[in-house]
Amino acid sequence: MLNTTKKHYLTKSRFKLALECPTKLHYSVEANGYFDKNQNNDFLQALADGGNQVGELAKFKYHDDPIGQNITIEPLEYELALEQTKAKLSQPGRIVIAEAALLHAPFFVRVDILIQDKNAKTIDLIEVKSKSVTDDIVTARFKNRSNRFESGWLPYLYDVTFQAEVARLNFPGFEIRSKLLLLDASKPCEKDGLHQLFQIAEQLDPVSGRSRAQIKVPANFSLDAIGRLDFLREIDVCDIVDELRHSPIDNSAHVPEPFRKNLSTFMAWSGQLQMSGELAFQGVSKECRSCQFRAPSGEEKLSGVHNCWKLARSQGLIHGAGDLNDRTVPLSIDLWGGGAGSRSFADLVIKKGRAFLSDIQEEDIQPKNLYEGSGLSPLVRRMAQVNSAVEKGHPIVIDQERLSEMDDWEWPLHMIDFETSAPALPFFKGMRPYETLAFQFSHHIMEKDGQGKVRIRHANQWIATQANYFPSIEFVRQLSKALMPTGELFGTVFRYHNHENTVLRNIRKKLVQSQLSEVPDKDELIEFIDLITKTTGDEEKQIGKYVGSKPMVDLHRLVQEGYYSKHAGGSISLKAVLPSILNDAEEVAMIYRQPGVYGKGLAIKSLNFGGSDGHVWLQAEKGNDPYKTLPAIFGTEHGKLNEMLARLAGDDDEDGVINQGGLAMTAYNYTQFNSISDSERHSIEQALQRYCELDTLAMVMVIQGLFALRER
């Protein structure tokens, strides 16, 4: 009898891992003891990207009554799932099965939608993905100008190709027809509250004990309750599957040459690896930078990346005398990658054989072109990071000339931060997949009194977490009132990176398309947006370059070009820069280390933190990290949920997008279900307000720190 424990089969997810790096197959087996930052986040990932909801909705595209007719194979256990699939396939006529289980050892797949037509001798495999697609992408057959498959699409294309190969082994004599079902972002939804019909619930897997997402659909639910599903776009990919079946595997630096010949060769090899549990090490590459098996300092579990580094060094692939048992020692792939264009500096230093950041030489990372920007060049930033690792140079680098623009800022200074969501499954009629909803902002003000003394206050905030409410228009209206209470903007508005500008320009498009009866003050709102924003990207190509008369200042760019600290570890994300600048500017840190300073009615006024002592942002027991002093989003009764949420948010946003944004979006999506209680929604709302308040306060602290460092 076959051994049906999960670890003995090459499933879709493990096939994907093998394509990325076959070594991951060994690290992914829980019994081997390796840390995996993606482990146990199925429920939260479902909240964040809506993939499970799209998968449930897709069943109605292929069957009139998928719930009533029970087309889904529910069991997770292999044997039971296989038995139920076999029973359904034995029925006559056209059979539609969701989550069909197919086994041809050592390969096992669960097919999103499988349609068997015994009369026509066809098997349709539909792989459902919550990923948006355009006409141009389909016309190009998912290829770039070099006639190679786009890297972002290749994993999905290999996924459906793998399934087709397993189906061929299971259905000899049948024609296998492979299709992708994707989201067409140009097609609007025709129903209000569609997402409410597919509510996400947390379910514990009784076998593994892990949290997974379960979609709850109302009883007696039918296709009539949904309307047309035009935004679900089916794409025949049989030609692509045929091409990938016969082409060499070329998307992974870690697959050895003999097993790249074609898909069946690779499948046989990776299947054998999966069955044996053998560790297949084939070197290190730039891909290691994003590996989920890198354990942080203090984590009890093993670190896959550090193990690979040990193997690579022992084989002479990389060189360096650093201590690989100390996870605080930066590796060469930790080099900041910003401002590199299409080049990968992680790739360059690995090819040079550099094991650690401290091993990198300036000639390794010389740019191709002379830097013509202002302030610290990308090379200067990278070398400051390298020098910090070898204890050379100063731990703080300031470009006084770049920071001199601070003297020209018009006061008061306004810090704003937005929280948004872009759900795969539209929340409202007329909304398109992945259309942005702006549901929260925070606003801090720094102002000077008559004697030039700076005062700071959390001046405004707005949030909308009620279900069935479109927030974006009122969001702009309230933001305009916050920044211009008298109808005129005084001072300078700040953002951190591009998010706020992008959000406002997207809402502007929505306003332009709206009727005056829908938004009576649309002209005033558009005028406000135009005042503080500028065109970028596709919009600039369409309507030309435009810059408002009082455009927001990008504090992220100012930090990138004017300030470096070794404590930020090469990152320019606000979450990394904040504790760094508080470490470097002790006079600023002292302000926020004291009780009785920050809070309602205190010297620095808050809208969310009360008590006579207010809130102390720098606490030794919290590692002097302000973000760690915040309460959990989901409350104390959801400890495991909060732990997963923190992991989902991540901390590797080298491009500078505020990393708490992913956390806030996930929590907001959770509030959009009618099923949660008012008290739970209120609790989440309060926590989100505190998080967003810190994001704008963090910008205040950064500006205070820069002023202090300039005066030294």
Confidence band, pLDDT 50/70/90 cuts, at residue 353: very high
Domain identity same for 535 and 445: yes
Phi/psi region, residue 11 (left: phi>0; alpha: psi -120 to 50; beta: rest), is beta
Supply the mean pLDDT for the chain. 90
Residue 654 has pLDDT above 70, yes or no: no
Task: Give me the helix-helix angle, 238-246 and 263-276, nearest 10°.
Answer: 70
Q: Does the pLDDT at position 643 exceed 60?
A: no
108 and 232 together in one domain: yes
> Which pLDDT does position 1 carry in this prediction?
33
Q: What is the pLDDT of residue 649?
A: 44
Domain boundary, last residue among 394, 421, 454: 394
pLDDT for 212: 67
At residue 84, the 3 state secondary structure works out as: helix
Per-residue pLDDT, 655: 34
Of 246, 264, 298, the last residue of a domain is: 246
Same domain, 639 and 655: yes
Note the pLDDT tens digit of each residue in 567-582: 998 899 998 999 999 9
Identify whether residues 431 and 572 lie together within a single domain.
no
- Asked whether residue 254 is assigned to any structural domain, the reply reads no
Percentage with pLDDT > 90 across the chain: 71
Same domain, 95 and 69: yes
Q: Who contacts 249 (Cβ-Cβ below 8 Å, separation ≥6)?
A: 19, 255, 259, 260, 261, 262, 263, 266
Residues 55 and 198 in one domain: yes
Q: Give the model's pLDDT for residue 224.
A: 74
**Final residue belonging to a domain, choices 520, 555, 590:** 555
Q: pLDDT tens across 128-179, in order? A: 999 999 999 999 999 999 999 999 999 999 999 999 999 999 999 999 999 9
Inside any domain, residue 442: yes
pLDDT reading at 323 higher than 90 = yes
**What letter represents residue 228's amino acid?**
R
**DSSP letter, residue 628:** G
pLDDT at 204: 66
Alpha helices in 277-356 (DSSP H): 304-314, 345-351
- Whole-angstrom distance, CA of residue 424 vs CA of residue 132: 8
CB–CB of 556/673 below 8 Å? no
| Residues 231 and 368 occupy one common structural domain | no
Separation in Å, CA 209 to CA 26, 478, 638? 21, 45, 16
Q: Tally Cβ neighbours within 10 Å of residue 374.
A: 13
Q: Look at 426 and 108; give whichever has higher pLDDT.
A: 108
Q: Which H or E element spans position 261? A: none
Query: What is the token pair recorded at 609?
Result: 């933190």
Q: Do 47 and 86 share a domain, yes or no?
A: yes
Mean pLDDT of 623-640: 72
**Alpha carbons 347 and 325: distance in angstroms, whole number:** 23
Residue 615 has which token pair?
A: 């809130």
| Structural domain harbouring 418 | 409-555
Pairing of strands 175-184, 122-133: parallel
pLDDT for position 318: 97
For residue 695, is it within any domain? yes
Counting the structural domains of the chain, the total is: 4
CA nearest 436: which of 492, 482, 476?
476
Q: What is the pLDDT of residue 225?
A: 76
- Residue 345: inside a domain, yes or no? yes
Q: Is residue 7 part of a domain?
A: no
| Residues 491 and 427 grouped into a single domain | yes
pLDDT band, residue 208 (cuts 50/70/90): low
Which residue in the block uniquely carries the two structure tokens 């930052």?
Answer: 37
Residue-level pLDDT at 44: 63
Angle at 680 between CA 674 and CA 684, to 5 degrees: 105
Gyration radius of the chain over CA positions: 27
The per-residue pLDDT for 128 is: 96
Distance separating alpha carbons of residues 550 and 532, to the nearest angstrom: 5
Q: Is 470 helix (H, G, I), strand (E, B) or coil?
A: coil
Residue at token pair 């007719």: 69
Report how far residue 579's alpha carbon sits from residue 705's, in angstroms, rounded to the nearest whole number: 11
The sign of the dihedral angle between the CA atoms of 696, 330, 17, 346 is positive
User: Rounded to whole angstroms, what are the CA distances from 457 to 195, 442, 588, 607, 625?
Assistant: 38, 11, 16, 9, 21
657: confidence class by pLDDT, cuts 50, 70, 90: very low
Same domain, 238 and 92: yes
- The pLDDT value recorded for residue 193 is 84
- 478, pLDDT greater than 70: yes
Q: pLDDT grade, residue 659 (50/70/90)?
A: very low
Q: What pLDDT does residue 647 have?
A: 45
User: Is 399 part of any domain?
Assistant: no
Out of 280-284, 366-370, 582-586, which region has the weakest mean confidence (pLDDT)? 366-370
Name the residue among 698, 692, 495 with its Cα closest to residue 577: 698
User: Which pTM value belongs to this model?
Assistant: 0.90
Q: Distance between CA atoms of 510 and 470, rounded to whole angstroms?
A: 12
With pLDDT > 70 as the criterion, what percentage of the chain qualifies?
Answer: 92
Residues 330, 292, 100: CA angle, nearest 5 degrees: 170
Q: Note whether residue 23 is domain-resident.
A: no
Residue 362: CB atoms within 10 A of its CB come to: 11
Contact of 286 with 347, CB cutoff 8 Å:
yes
* 575-604 mean pLDDT: 96
pLDDT at 66 over 50: yes
- Confidence tier at 216 by pLDDT (50, 70, 90): confident
Q: Checking DSSP bridges between strand 107-117 and strand 94-104, what pairing results, if any?
A: antiparallel
User: 511-557, pLDDT tens digit by residue?
Assistant: 999 888 889 999 999 999 999 999 998 888 888 899 999 999 999 99
pLDDT(500) > 80: yes
Residue 161 lies in a domain: yes
Same domain, 124 and 219: yes
Same domain, 323 and 468: no
CB-count burial class (<10 Å; 0-12, 13-18, 19+) for 103: buried
